[in-house]
C-alpha cells in the first residue's frame, strides 16, 4: 500500500475519533445544563426546581446513550409521540457516534504512537492546520447566523419534522433554551480546536527537537 495513501487513511481515522470524542464529551456535560437552568431560571415556566430539571436532563441523556434503554418517559414532563420518535432518532445518531469513537480509538492511538516513535509527528502539522482553518470558518458562520444553520443542521440530519416541538404537547422544549444549543456547539468546536492545537504544538516541538 502506498505510504501516502495509508497516512491519509490513518489521519482521517484519527480525525473521526477526535470528532466523535468531542461529541461524546459535549453530550456528557451536565454542568453546562446546570449553569443554564440556574442563570436563566428555566424551571420557573415549568414549575420544576433545579433538582427536578437535572433529573429530567439525566433521563434524556441516559435514554439517548444507553443501548438497552427503549422507553422514553420523563418523570415530570409529558411527551408526544413525535417527540419520542425524535429522541429515538437522536439516540440512533448518538449510539452511532459512540460506536464509531470506540472503533477508531485503538487505530488512532496506534497511528499517533507510531508517528511519535519514528519522530514523524511533524507530518500532522500541515493537515491539522488546514483543518483548523476550516473549523474557524465554520465557527464564523455559526456565530453570524446560528439559528438558520441550526435549522439547516436538523433538516440535514433528520428526514422528518419530529424535531419541531409544540411547547404545549412537549414542555421539554421549554427546559432546553436556545442558548444551550449554541453553547453545546461552541463547546464541541472548542474541544475539537483544543485537541488539534495540542497536536500541532506537540508536532512542532518534536520537529524542533530533531532539527
> What ranges do the domains of the chain cover?
3-210
Q: Are 79 and 73 in contact (CB under 8 A)?
A: yes
Pick from 35, 26, 19: nearest CA to 138: 19
Task: State the maximum Cα–Cα separation within the chain, in Å, rounded to a whole number.
Answer: 65
Global pTM reads 0.93
What pLDDT shows up at residue 3?
Answer: 75
Q: What percentage of residues in the chain have a pLDDT greater than 70?
A: 99
Q: Which residue has the cell 422528518?
A: 160
pLDDT band, very low/low/confident/very high, at 1 (cuts 50, 70, 90): low
DSSP state of 79: -
Q: Is 52 a residue whose pLDDT tops 80?
A: yes
Three cell numbers written together for 134: 476550516
Q: Are 72 and 63 in contact (CB under 8 A)?
A: yes
Q: Is 44 a residue whose pLDDT tops 70?
A: yes
What pLDDT shows up at residue 45?
Answer: 85
Angle at 11 between CA 105 and CA 197, to 5 degrees: 85
Give the residue ranges of DSSP H helices in 28-170: 30-40, 50-65, 81-117, 125-144, 146-157
Q: Which residue has the cell 474541544?
A: 191
What pLDDT shows up at residue 211?
Answer: 63
In angstroms, rounded to a whole number, what is the distance separating the alpha carbons of residues 123 and 154? 36
- Burial tier of 64 (Cβ tally within 10 Å: 0-12, 13-18, 19+): buried
Amino acid at each position: 500500500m502506498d505510504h501516502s495513501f495509508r497516512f491519509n487513511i490513518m489521519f482521517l481515522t484519527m480525525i473521526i475519533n477526535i470528532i466523535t470524542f468531542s461529541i461524546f464529551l459535549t453530550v456528557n456535560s451536565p454542568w453546562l445544563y446546570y449553569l443554564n437552568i440556574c442563570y436563566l431560571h428555566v424551571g420557573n415556566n415549568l414549575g420544576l426546581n433545579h433538582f427536578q430539571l437535572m433529573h429530567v436532563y439525566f433521563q434524556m441523556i441516559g435514554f439517548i446513550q444507553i443501548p438497552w434503554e427503549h422507553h422514553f418517559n420523563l418523570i415530570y414532563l409529558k411527551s408526544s409521540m413525535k417527540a419520542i420518535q425524535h429522541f429515538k432518532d437522536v439516540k440512533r445518531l448518538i449510539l452511532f457516534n459512540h460506536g464509531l469513537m470506540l472503533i477508531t480509538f485503538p487505530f488512532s492511538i496506534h497511528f499517533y504512537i507510531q508517528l511519535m516513535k519514528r519522530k514523524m509527528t511533524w507530518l500532522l502539522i500541515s493537515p491539522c492546520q488546514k483543518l483548523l482553518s476550516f473549523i474557524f470558518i465554520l465557527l464564523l458562520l455559526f456565530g453570524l447566523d446560528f439559528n438558520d444553520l441550526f435549522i439547516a443542521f436538523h433538516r440535514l440530519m433528520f428526514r422528518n419534522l419530529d424535531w419541531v416541538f409544540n411547547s404545549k404537547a412537549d414542555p421539554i422544549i421549554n427546559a432546553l433554551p436556545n442558548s444551550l444549543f449554541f453553547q453545546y456547539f461552541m463547546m464541541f468546536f472548542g474541544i475539537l480546536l483544543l485537541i488539534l492545537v495540542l497536536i500541532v504544538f506537540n508536532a512542532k516541538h518534536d520537529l524542533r527537537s530533531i532539527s
